[in-house]
Each structure stands twice: as C-alpha cells, then as structure tokens.
C-alpha cells in the first residue's frame, strides 16, 4: 500500500445540471408542427481510432471525434465500448437501434468519442459525475488529456462535490465490507465475509485510490459492464 504523506494529485468533482424550464418559451418562436431536416452523422469507418489519449492546446473545450466501426461475429456493444473507452450508456444511446448483446455481424456502430471538457482547471483528475467520465491532465504532459468512463454510486449514495486530493494508492486492494452492506445483504439472505481479498471477485478491482475526504474511493471493478 502506497501512502502519500503529501498528496500531490488534486481531484475535482463536478455535477452538471441542465435547466429545462426555459424550454417553455420556445412555443412562441417555433411551432412544433414545423418540419426540420436533421442529418444523422455518418462518420467514415476507421482503422486507427484514438481511445483514451487526446492532444490538448490552449483553451480547447472539446477533444476527440465521432467514429464508427463494423461489428464482427459474436461482438457485443459492451465489448466494443470497453475496447474503445466508452461506457455502456454511451454506446447504447448512440446505437439505439442495435441490440446491445446480440448485434448482427457487419452492423455499423457509432462511437461517441468526442468529449466536452469539464469547465474546470486542466489539472490532476477531474470527475464529471453527470457524464460519468474521468479526465486526467498529467502534470508533465500539459498538451495531453486522458479520459475514461466511470461508474458512480447508486441512488442514495451521493458523490460529494468539490476539491480534494488522493491520500492513499493501493494496488490489489482488499475490500473491508461496510456494516451497512452486511445488513443489506443479510436481509436478503446473503451473507458476506468481513473482508473480500484481492482477486477477480473483488468489487474494488485491482487498484484503489482513497480520497482525502470521507471514505470515498476511485477504484476498479469486477463488473466492467455494471
């Protein structure tokens, strides 16, 4: 277990809310009977697609581009999403007409690999909770940003907002099951051990970073499609 006595990596946690009340005023401008021609983007199939690492310059607000691939036999949308650094929600929303687990071979799959950068300093780790995406700005690579999909706590387990730092980095972490989780599973007839050792069944995955606030972690998972 690596303990950082003086944490040097900052973490920003942001939630983005969409204010929709103003949409009521549109009825005075547009008629909903009006017809608009909407062109669906049809990017060319690509063999060299940027996944996690993107170049960055100045006050750039967006990185990446929409791409497309064709499915092969036995492909699934979650498999494709994981390969290209997308979340399950990302790829299923972009390909609503394709069955997630049983797409036909040679189906054209859109990859929404264009990302709006959070309105936050390009420093350390920034978590966009609303978009379920992590952005990492390396201190020694000012012209780079790395981005990955993330899962967040379930309803009722709110992620705190604000600035913090990484206090502890742990490879191959053990999961000490919280009493609340014990009680919840016991009520359903499932009895968990007090500690789940590192391995393929550990919900923390193979890496965990404890934040300096509360008992919150950024960690891996044993259910990449969950």
Segments making up each domain of the chain, as ranges: 42-152, 160-225
Residue 24 has pLDDT above 90, yes or no: no
Q: What pLDDT does 21 receive?
A: 31
Looking only at the bridges linking them, the beta strands covering 10-14 and 124-128 are parallel
Residues 3-9 have a mean pLDDT of 41
What count of Cα atoms within 13 Å lies in the side-chain half-sphere of residue 35? 1
Dump pLDDT digits (tens) for 167-204: 999 999 999 998 888 898 889 998 889 999 999 999 99
Mean pLDDT of 1-13: 46
Identify whether the C-beta of residue 91 lies closer than 8 Å to the C-beta of residue 81. Answer: yes
**φ, ψ of residue 174 in degrees (nearest 5):** -90, 150
pLDDT for the residue 19: 29
Torsion of CA 7, 154, 65, 43, to 10 degrees: 160
- Provide the whole-model pTM: 0.76
Return the pLDDT at 13.
Answer: 58
Q: Is pLDDT of 30 > 70?
A: no
What's the CA gap between 15 and 132, in Å, rounded? 10
| pLDDT tens by residue, 73-96 | 999 999 999 999 999 999 999 999
How high is the mean pLDDT of the chain?
A: 82
């Amino acid at each position: 277990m690596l303990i950082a006595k003086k944490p040097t990596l900052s973490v920003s946690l942001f939630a983005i809310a969409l204010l929709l009340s103003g949409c009521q005023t549109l009825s005075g401008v547009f008629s909903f009977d009006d017809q608009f021609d909407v062109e669906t983007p049809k990017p060319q199939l690509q063999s060299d697609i940027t996944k996690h690492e993107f170049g960055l310059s100045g006050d750039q607000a967006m990185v990446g581009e929409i791409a497309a691939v064709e499915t092969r036999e036995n492909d699934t949308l979650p498999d494709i999403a994981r390969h290209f650094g997308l979340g399950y929600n990302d790829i299923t929303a972009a390909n609503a007409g394709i069955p997630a687990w049983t797409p036909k071979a040679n189906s054209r799959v859109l990859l929404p690999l264009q990302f709006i950068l959070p309105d936050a300093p390009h420093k350390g780790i920034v978590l966009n909770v609303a978009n379920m995406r992590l952005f990492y700005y390396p201190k020694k690579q000012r012209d780079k940003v790395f981005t990955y999909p993330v899962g967040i706590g379930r309803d009722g387990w709110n992620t705190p907002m604000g600035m913090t730092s990484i206090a502890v980095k742990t490879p191959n972490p053990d999961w000490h099951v919280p009493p609340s989780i014990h009680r919840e599973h016991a009520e359903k007839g499932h009895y968990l051990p007090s500690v789940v050792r590192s391995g393929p069944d550990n919900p923390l995955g193979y890496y965990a970073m404890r934040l300096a606030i509360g008992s919150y972690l950024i960690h891996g998972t044993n259910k990449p499609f969950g």
